[in-house]
Amino acid sequence: MGSITLKQVTKSFDEVNVIKPLDLEIRDGEFIVFVGPSGCGKSTLLRMIAGLEDTTSGNIEIDGQDATSTPPAKRGLAMVFQSYALYPHMSVRNNIAFPLKRAKVPPAEIEEKIASAARILNLGDYLDRKPGQLSGGQRQRVAIGRAIVRQPSAFLFDEPLSNLDASLRVNMRLEISELHKSLKTTMIYVTHDQVEAMTMADRIAVFNAGVIEQVGTPLELYQYPVNRFVAGFIGSPKMNFIELDTPQEDGATCLGVRPEHIEITESGGLWQGKVGVVEHLGSETFLHVQVEGADTLTVKANGDCALRYGDDVYLGAQPNKILRFDSQGQTIANG
């Protein structure tokens, strides 16, 4: 059980509206990622769901029960913080046992739960160490362990991987996804990293300035972004935008095309330009092409691309891969 429904939820600090009226249905067992640039309100919303921030207006329902003013401990949710928020003076074992002891769980049962959490997260070797003696990844696991033992109806993750180095982040990403597959518990995950969002999520909610721009599966957002913000935020490298001097007949003032959808041709094509910086990544190559009458376009090419700085190239793209945006930034449907 772990469905969460947000109804017309808002949050304002003094006069500033951080969250504008917002509806969202989080289904039982799904992995939903809140993604957006910093300051877009995604963390605030997560903290409101956790009960750490008051809700200015609207309702938060957990499993059909109105939980808008329920204290955090009574909501049955567990949170993993960005700083891990482990208790530094307690051993790993006591950190994990802390919520159970507060809930007056019998000692034998506590031992059992710690053992099972330690098994799931490979914590066995350092149960008696203090958090200060652990590496970032291990601390992260302990924080997750402390969340697991409570058997919450949903897990809340607040940018849990942002303090880890790049390679560890990839590993922990996999581990958290793995954990979700085995526990089948609802997880709400906040991040500003669209790669994390794309790789982990069942559904993604893209936030911008206190509103949800779009909710959908990763591929939906990638293929059919509803507006220019979502199109630019999802995908790496970023989508290229080409401003048009004169609107097209359907009202489009801007074209969007992803680097991986641009083809390099010998002649003809939609755009002509000069190759700027070439970034070889081995498996692929990113070309920054200075196009006449437009900005620099990023183009993704094969790993063995032989083009060099200063070469003249022609660029093209399949018409159905080009997105068109109107003057409001909304996507104009194809066809």
- What whole-number distance in Å separates Cα of residue 135 and Cα of residue 171? 14
> Is 81 among the residues that bind another protein (CB under 8 A)?
yes
Q: Which of 19, 40, 46, 50 binds another protein (CB under 8 A)?
A: 50
Residues of this chain, 120-139, that bind another protein according to CB under 8 A:
132
* Size of interface with another protein, in residues (CB under 8 A): 25
Host H or E run for residue 94: helix 92-102
Give 27 or 102: the residue with its C-beta nearer to another protein: 102
Binders of another protein in range 186-215 (CB under 8 A)? none
Residue 93 engages another protein in binding (rule: CB under 8 A):
no
Question: Rounded CA gap, 116 and 209, in Å?
Answer: 41
Beta bridge partners of 214: 206
For the bound state, the minimum distance from the C-beta of residue 69 to another protein, rounded and expressed in Å, comes to: 14
Cβ–Cβ under 8 Å, residues 78 and 155: yes
Do residues 188 and 154 touch, judged by C-beta distance below 8 A? yes
User: Residue 116 is which amino acid?
Assistant: S
**Span of 67-75, 165-173, 183-191, 248-256 interacting with another protein by CB under 8 A:** 67-75
Residue closest to 322 by CA, chosen among 307, 335, 309, 303: 335
Cα(276)–Cα(309) distance, integer angstroms: 5
106 counts as binding another protein under rule CB under 8 A: no
Among 21, 72, 237, 316, binds another protein (CB under 8 A): 72
Closest CB 317 distance from another protein, rounded Å? 46
Neighbours of 16 (CB within 10 A): 8
For residue 276, state whether it binds another protein (rule: CB under 8 A). Answer: no
Q: Which of 18, 79, 179, 257 binds another protein (CB under 8 A)?
A: 79
Does residue 54 belong to the site contacting another protein (CB under 8 A)? Answer: no
Q: State which of residues 8, 12, 69, 83 lies at the interface with another protein (CB under 8 A).
A: 83
- Asked if residue 103 binds another protein (CB under 8 A), the reply is yes
In what helix (H) or strand (E) does residue 179 lie, and over which residues does it extend?
Answer: helix 166-183
Nearer to another protein, 58 or 72 (CB): 72
Under the binding rule (CB under 8 A), the answer on residue 21 touching another protein is: no
The answer to whether 221 and 195 have CB atoms below 8 angstroms apart is no
In the complex, the smallest distance separating the C-beta of residue 182 from another protein, rounded to whole angstroms, is: 22
Q: How far apart are CA 36 and CA 215, in angstroms?
A: 12
Q: Give the chain's largest Cα–Cα span.
A: 76
Secondary structure of 128-154 in the HEC alphabet? Answer: CCCHHHCCHHHHHHHHHHHHHCCCCCE
Q: How far is the CB of 262 from another protein (least distance, A)?
A: 44
Q: Which residues of 147-166 are buried (b: 16+ CB within 10 A; e: fewer)?
A: bbbbebbbbbbbbbbeebee
The C-alpha atoms of residue 131 and residue 139 are separated, in whole angstroms, by 6
Contact between 132 and 87 under an 8 Å Cβ cutoff? The reply is no
- DSSP 3-state assignment of 47? helix
Q: Does 56 bind another protein (CB under 8 A)?
A: no
Q: Does 150 bind another protein (CB under 8 A)?
A: yes
Stretch that binds another protein, among 17-25, 76-84, 111-119, 186-194 (CB under 8 A): 76-84
Site string for another protein, 232-271 (x = CB under 8 A): ----------------------------------------
Residue 31 parent element (H or E): strand 31-35
Of 47 and 300, the one with the shorter C-beta distance to another protein is 47
Residue 216 contacts another protein per CB under 8 A? no
CB of 142 to another protein, least distance (A): 12
Residues near another protein (CB under 8 A): 50-52, 71-73, 77-79, 81-83, 85-90, 98-99, 102-103, 132, 146, 150
